[in-house]
Amino acid sequence: MIDSYQQHCQRRVDAALDVLMQAPRGELERLYQAMRYSVMNGGKRVRPLLAYAACQALGGAEAQADGAACAVELIHAYSLVHDDLPAMDDDDLRRGQPTTHKAFDEASAILAGDGLQSLAFEVLADPLRNPHAAEIRLAMLTALSRAAGPSGMVGGQAIDLGSVGQTLDQQALEIMHRHKTGALIEASVQLGALASGRADATSLQALHSYAQAVGLAFQVQDDILDVESDTATLGKTQGKDQANHKPTYPALLGLEAAKAYALELRDQALLALQPFDGNAEPLRELARYIVERRS
Q: Are 55 and 276 in contact (CB under 8 A)?
A: no
- The mean per-residue pLDDT over the stretch 76-86 comes to 97
The CATH number assigned to the domain holding 279 equals 1.10.600.10
Q: Please report the pLDDT score of residue 3 as a whole number.
A: 87
Domain total of the chain: 1
- 235-249 confidence digits (pLDDT tens): 656 556 665 667 899
Calpha distance 273→176 (Å, rounded): 25
In 3D, which of 165, 292, 141, 167 has the Cα closest to residue 218?
Answer: 292
Backbone angles phi, psi at 223, to 5 degrees: -65, -40
Average pLDDT, the chain: 93
Judged by DSSP in three states, 244 sits in: coil
User: Which residues in 74-108 are b (16+ Cβ under 10 Å) and which e?
Assistant: bbbbbbbbbbbbeeebebebbbeebbbbebbeeeb
Q: Please report the pLDDT score of residue 167 as a whole number.
A: 85
Calpha distance 71→66 (Å, rounded): 9
- 88-146 confidence digits (pLDDT tens): 999 999 988 999 999 999 999 999 999 999 999 999 999 999 999 999 999 999 999 99
Q: Please report the pLDDT score of residue 166 as a whole number.
A: 84
What residues form DSSP beta bridges with 94? 97
Domain that holds residue 76: 2-292
Backbone angles phi, psi at 94, to 5 degrees: -145, 125
Strand (E) or helix (H) holding 207:
helix 201-228
Percentage with pLDDT > 70 across the chain:
94
Give the E-state strand segments of the chain in sequence order. 93-94, 97-98
Q: Are 31 and 166 in contact (CB under 8 A)?
A: no
Does residue 191 have a pLDDT over 80?
A: yes
